[in-house]
Amino acid sequence: MKPAKIIAKCSDGKMKRGYSQDFFPSKPIFHLNKSENGTSQQVEELRMMDLKALFFVKDFLGNRDHRERKVFLEGERASGRKIEVTFYDGEVLQGSVLAYNPQQSGFFLFPADPKSNNDRVFVVNSSVRDFRYL
């Protein structure tokens, strides 16, 4: 299995980039490796309780020319239910979810912009101030 490219946003505002093959929403920890093939000695253990969200990205640099649309367009269809999430730090994301349970550790959000550098975002429920269906 190919490792996932992840940008981890921590609750304290720090960001970490790396690759992971052992992230599971139900597990309290996972590991980020600095190299894609897992040979780097720079492996960091991350705890879910310290995170705001995990961004599963196509590219670590993204596309500087693309201005990501953070909201749905009028009448735009989505896979799953459209939602808006507001984090405690004030950041707002719109996207869609296939399932949401506030009793779980978090949920996967699929961005409103289909051209986003983010394939999906795992939102940690403890970092969410407000969740609403659109």
64 inside domain: no
Distance of CA 87 to the CA centre of its chain: 12
Strand intervals (E) in 1-134? 4-10, 15-20, 29-33, 43-47, 51-57, 81-87, 92-97, 106-111, 118-124, 128-133
Identify whether 100 is part of a domain: yes
- The pTM of this model reads 0.90
Domain assignment of residue 26, given as a range:
4-58+69-133
d(CA 17, CA 29): 16
pLDDT score of 125: 97
Residue with the two structure tokens 């780097």: 40
Residue 53 lies in a domain: yes
Q: Which residues on neighbouring strands pair with residue 57, listed in sequence order?
A: 118
Tally the domains of the chain: 1
pLDDT per position as a tens digit, 57-96: 998 887 777 777 777 777 777 889 999 999 999 999 999 9
Strand 106-111 versus strand 118-124 pairing type: antiparallel
